[in-house]
Structure 1
Amino acid sequence: MNDPLHLNEQICFPVYVFAKEIINQYRPLLEALDLTYPQYLVMMVLWEQEAQTVNQLGKKLKLDSGTLTPLLKRMELKAFISRNRSTVDERIVNISLTEKGKVLKEKASCIPTQLMESMQVSTEDLIVLKNIITKILKK
């Protein structure tokens, strides 16, 4: 009989290890761009839609402002983004890409392909995995 408390019986453990591993796979690719993985996520959102508020970024990335604010300050120091308070409501902080941040998109365009090659998994398998994870997260 299987013991439900054995580590090998857990569903969450391989997911946890996989999350750590995939971020480790990203690390050398992102270091070349002077980005951390969370900063890379912010950049992807801004590359999709250049102007965002801190709250909009937080909702899209599932990050609270306590995590996001120091991250954005570091990105501003690197000159990838600018942070400006709204003239209408000073509680709102608008985030936008700088020219350096816009140029970074071209340099980052090869990262998804490089990551897939390093993982040695088919595109089809990754799509199935993404669909399953997305289904679980929507609950």
Structure 2
Amino acid sequence: MKKTLDTISGLMSSVFNDIIKLEEVFLKNNKYKDVSSREVRTIEAIGTSKTKTMGSVAKNLDITLGTLTVSVTNLEKKGYVIREKSLNDKRVVNVSLTEKGKKLFRLHKKFKENIMKSIVIELSNQEKEIFNGALTRVSQTLHKQCINI
């Protein structure tokens, strides 16, 4: 059992690290050298559909409002996001993506889709079902652990 756990642990680390490397290359090759992987997560959490409050984005990312403020300030300086006080409640700060931010959002979404396609295309239909089931269980287990923190 220990050997199996060690193998799975090594594979999970390898997959995670490879995805991070591929993401860094993607950002560099698409002229987004000024954006970190963490800032891309912020852009994803803000999304393109509507304006969101800083509080809702921080909650979605499971980070403090202060941490998000630093990231949004940097992204605002780089031209990816706009921050505005709410017209209804001056205590609330809304954040949305600029056109530049929306373009990066769409490109990054396509990047993730291409990664998944490149993985799944190598699998048989049966392997796809097993992979999907296993990842679903892993995700559910990790989510339960996160809720209990």
> Does residue 25 of the first structure (1) align with residue 32 of the second (2)?
no
Paired amino acid for 1:54: M
Q: Which runs of 5+ in 2 are unaligned?
A: 122-127, 145-149
Greater per-residue helix proportion: 2
Residues 33 and 104 in structure 1, CA contact (< 8 A), matched pair in contact too = no
- C-alpha distance 74-130 of structure 1, shift in aligned 2 (>3 A): farther
Paired amino acid for 1:30: L
For residues 75-113 of structure 1, what are the alpha-carbon distances to aligned partners after superposition, in whole Å with 9 as ceiling and x for unaligned? 111111101123444432210121222333443343124
SS in 2 for 1:49: coil
> Does residue 131 of the first structure (1) align with residue 131 of the second (2)?
no
Give, in whole Å, the separation in 1 of the partners of 2:23 and 2:99: 24
Give, in whole Å, the separation in 1 of the partners of 2:14 and 2:116: 17
For residues 40-90 of structure 1, what are the alpha-carbon distances to aligned partners after superposition, in whole Å with 9 as ceiling and x for unaligned? 222223335331111111121222223221111111111111011234444
Give, in whole Å, the separation in 2 of the partners of 1:126 and 1:48: 30
SS in 2 for 1:110: helix
What percentage of aligned pairs have identical amino acids? 23
SS in 2 for 1:94: strand
Residue aligning to 1:121: 119
Paired amino acid for 1:107: L
- C-alpha distance 133-38 of structure 1, shift in aligned 2 (>3 A): farther
Residue aligning to 2:71: 71
Q: Which runs of 5+ in 1 are unaligned?
A: none
- C-alpha distance 78-87 of structure 1, shift in aligned 2 (>3 A): same
| Structure-to-structure mapping, 1:88-103, within 5 angstroms | 88-103=88-103
Equivalent residues, number: 134
Paired amino acid for 2:65: S
The TM-score, its normalising length taken from structure 1, stands at 0.71
| Structure-to-structure mapping, 1:14-93, within 5 angstroms | 14-31=11-28, 32-34=30-32, 35-93=35-93
- C-alpha distance 107-138 of structure 1, shift in aligned 2 (>3 A): closer
- C-alpha distance 96-115 of structure 1, shift in aligned 2 (>3 A): same
* Shift, 1:135, TM fit: 0.7
